[in-house]
Structure 1
Amino acid sequence: MRRRSAAYWLWVNRRLAGRNHEEILEDGTQVEVQARINQQSVTQLFICIYRPNGSVWVEEFHDRALREPLCQALEWGLARAGDIVAGSGCFKAPHKIQMTLGPLIRDECTLALRRMDMSDEERRNLKIRDAWAEYVHAKEAMLALMRSARVEADVWETQKRRLCEAIDRRASLARACLGN
Structure 2
Amino acid sequence: MSGIRQFQGKVFPLNRENVDTDQIIPKQFLKKIDRQGFGQYLFYHWRFNDDGSPNKDFSLNNEKYQGATILVGGDNFGCGSSREHAPWSLLDYGFQVIIAPSFADIFYNNCVKNGILPIRLGQKDVEVLLGKATQSNFELAVDLEEQTVKDQDGYKSSFEIDPYWKQMLMNGWDEISITLSYEDQIKQFELLR
Determine if the TM-score, normalized by the shorter chain, exceeds 0.5.
no
**TM-score, normalised by the number of residues in structure 2:** 0.27
Say which structure, 1 or 2, has more relative contact order (CA 8 Å, 6+ apart).
2
**TM-score, normalised by the number of residues in structure 1:** 0.28
